[in-house]
Every structure is written in structure tokens, then in C-alpha cells.
Amino acid sequence: MAIRKLKPTTPGQRHKIIGSFENITASAPEKSLVVGKVATGGRNNRGKMTTKNVGGGHKRRFRFIDFKRTKDGIPAVVKSIEYDPNRSARIALLYYADGAKSYILAPNGLKVGTTVMSGDKVAPEVGNALPLSQIPIGTVVHNIELRPGQGAKMARSAGTFAQLVSREEKFAIIKMPSGEVRKILSACKATIGSVGNSDHALEQSGKAGRSRWLGRRPRTRGVVKNPVDHPMGGGEGRASGGHPRSATGLYSKGLKTRAPKKHSSKYIIEKRKKK
């Protein structure tokens, strides 16, 4: 995956850095795996704005992604690598031997024509999904389940991966993309390899208009608002606004929001790295 830095022929292109689409092999999605996506504009069922800075943007169609990989033992051929507007990663269209079709997240190194499988007796090769109990120690994985059969929940964005560090009784010890080390049941599935489109983090929009295409409206800083509108508002001149906090008064910049008695805390061996 590569990135493109454009020549500054216009002000909007001076700082624009975008990913290249050279590895994408199809321009239209598979119709049977696509459904229309309704945009809310940040409004609830009564028309009241409940989420700020949301609205506009290009129309999108939702692609159904197979995060469960339940078709064990049935080989599938990668038909195409496609763009998905709903996520940072690329997706791969699979044609199964029994005639079924599905989308998966495209890992690094997966190419058109490659055969992938899922199941217990599958080789630990890129794109294959198998239980953590069958994956060799030290292997890089993504698309990790938290509960068996639930579907992948972790390490799904572009360029991310986790590493299988060791095993302990019925648990696998995983080092997460955040640096957190935690236990996950060995019966949970994971996919071999790291998520593709790893250069996504290097992209720069170059202009405000590109944020509007993505459905992001302008965000007003709290410190420039009036006291009635934000806890950090008001003051004479350019006042700092006091301790950083949200519009509802919740402290930011360091306040821990994780529930102290959360049931899954006992599975965390080492907390994520602090910035």
C-alpha cells in the first residue's frame, strides 16, 4: 500500500496526502451483500439533534462483512479487493466452493486468486480464520472475538494487529494494538495477519471540504462559546476556560471513564500504554 502526495496546483491540494487505490480491483460492490444506509444527520426519531457535528456527506451503501467466519472447512477464493466507505480498511470479496459469497476485511498480503479457509484444522496462513488454541505462539492476528461465536470485535481498523504471546489453561494471552495484554478464551477465533491499508494513518485531508464529504460538520471549540452554552465559555478576552471538559461538564484530558468494577477487568494482565 502506498500514499500519494499531490502537487499544490490548488490550495486544497497543498497538504493533501491520500492513499493509492492501485490494489483495488473492483469499482462496484456485490449487489447481494449491499444495502442502503440511512443518514440521521445526528437527529433522533423526534428530529432533535442528539449528536453534534454530524450531517451531510456522500451517500453510502452498507457492505455486510462476515466477522464470524462460520463456514468451516469450505475453501473460498478471493474474487476482488474493494473500497469500503464505512471503514478505514479495504475489504475482500470471497467466492465459496458451495456458491456462497461474503466480504471479509482484507489483510496485508491477500491477493486476488488466493484461497482462504476457516476452521480448526486450517493452516495458519494469511486470511485464514481459526481458534486461538490452534494458532502458533508469536503469530500476528486481527479480527479477534471476545466470546466464541460472537464475531470479531477487536483489531479491525486499517493497519492494526495483535500478537498471540502465550497460553494459560483455557485462555490465550494477547497483546492488543493499544499495548494492553489480556486474556481471551482459546475457543475464540482470530484471522491470521494484520489488517491491510496500513498507510491510512499517514493520510491528510488537505481541506475542510473533505471532512464535509465524510459527513463531519464544523466543530466549535467550547472556549469560544458563551457560559450558557459550555462550561469553558465566557470570560474577558481570550480566557483559557479553566479545566478542559465536555459540554455536559465531564472532565477530559485524563479522566478515567472505564467502570472501576467492570467484569472484564479481571482478564486484563497489563493496562494499555499511556500517551
Q: Pick the last residue of a domain from 170, 201, 232.
A: 201
100 belongs to a structural domain = yes
Residue 215 falls within a domain, yes or no? no
Instruction: Examine the domain organization and report whether 29 and 95 are in the same domain.
Output: yes
Q: What is the DSSP string of 55-101?
A: ------EEEPB-SS---TT--EEEEEEE--TTSSS-EEEEEETTS-E
Query: Given pLDDT bands bounded at 50, 70 and 90, which one contains residue 274?
Result: confident
pLDDT in tens, 41-100: 999 999 999 999 999 999 999 999 999 999 999 999 999 999 999 999 999 999 999 999
In a domain, 26, yes or no: yes
Q: In this structure, are 196 and 250 located in the same domain?
A: no
210 domain residue, yes or no:
no
Which phi and psi (to 5°) does residue 34 adopt?
A: -130, 145
Q: How far is CA 31 from CA 62, 91, 98, in A?
A: 11, 15, 18
Flag whether 241 is in a domain: yes
Domain that holds residue 118: 3-201
The DSSP code for 180 is -
107 and 239 assigned to the same domain: no
Does 144 lie in the same domain as 96? Answer: yes
- Shared domain for 28 and 82, answered yes or no, is yes
**Pair 70, 112 in one domain:** yes
Q: What is the CATH number of the domain that holds 234?
A: 4.10.950.10
CATH of the domain at 146: 2.40.50.140
Please state the domain count of the chain: 2
Instruction: Please indicate, yes or no, if residue 99 is contained in any of the structural domains.
Output: yes
162 and 86 inside one domain: yes
Domain annotation covers residue 69: yes
Question: 96-149, pLDDT tens digit by residue?
Answer: 999 999 999 999 999 999 999 999 989 999 999 999 999 999 999 999 999 999
| Same domain flag for 46 and 163 | yes
**Domain check: are 142 and 254 in the same one?**
no
Burial 176-205 (b: 16+ CB within 10 A, else e): bbeebbbbbbbebbbbbbbbbbbbbeebeb
Kindly state whether residues 39 and 160 are assigned to the same domain.
Answer: yes
Tell me the Cα Rg of the chain. 22
pLDDT exceeds 90 at position 253? no
List pLDDT tens digits, range 198-238.
Answer: 999 999 999 999 999 999 999 999 999 999 999 999 999 88
90 within some domain: yes
Given 3-state DSSP classes, what are the helix, strand and coil percentages for the chain, each rounded to the nearest 5?
10, 30, 60
How many whole angstroms separate alpha carbon 224 and alpha carbon 182?
42
Beta partners for 81?
92
